[in-house]
Amino acid sequence: MKVCLIGSTRFREEFVEVNQELTRRGHLVYSVAFYKEPTKVDEHTKEVLDLVHLQKISESDVVVLITDKEGYIGDSTRREVIWAQLEKKEIVPVQYGPEGLDLPDFSSLGQDGWAFNDEFLRSLRETKSLGKSTEEIMNRRREEEEEEENLENPDQPQTH
């Protein structure tokens, strides 16, 4: 299974541990290329890295969201969660607590896998601005889906 890891790059050790464990289990794992520390990148490079990571999400079967026990999600991760939802990917949360890593068994994914619902996405939008570029991506994606639906059902009235 192709798995993409998302979460704050401040969780470097957790990313490495989850990546190693999933790879050990035979999964193809897409992860981040750079972490906040010690590498600093300029704004252009960050934008490129963000877009590359969105493509990794698109090519994955499932997305693993890495957070701490407080459930921290930053702006980039919020955008990735929304992108994964738009791509109709299952999102599996992995939180680190005092007992360490609690990684689910992916063999049952798709049967009783977990995905964020619309209420969660609304709460993300309300708690923090998504940023213009994210809104543009979401609107463009919705328009593409509407166009596809109209092509599949040409006899249906347009709902614009």
pLDDT for 56: 95
3-state DSSP helix/strand/coil % of the chain, to nearest 5: 50, 15, 40
Q: Where are the alpha helices (DSSP H) in 38-95?
A: 43-59, 75-86
What are residue 122's phi and psi, to 5 degrees? Answer: -60, -40
* Average pLDDT estimate for 94-121: 56
Q: Are 84 and 57 in contact (CB under 8 A)?
A: yes
**Integer Cα distance of 34 and 27 in angstroms:** 21
Q: What is the residue extent of each domain of the chain?
A: 2-152
Asked if residue 123 has pLDDT above 70, the reply is: no
Predicted TM-score (pTM) of the model is 0.66
Assigned token pair, 75: 């702006």
Residues 6+ apart with CB under 8 A from 36: 9, 10, 12
CATH of region 2-152: 3.40.50
Q: Where are the alpha helices (DSSP H) in the chain?
A: 12-24, 43-59, 75-86, 118-127, 132-152
Q: Which residues pair with 67 in a beta bridge?
A: 95
**Integer Cα distance of 87 and 19 in angstroms:** 22
Q: What is the pLDDT of residues 46-101, one digit of tens each?
A: 888 889 999 999 999 999 999 887 788 888 899 999 999 999 998 988 877 667 66
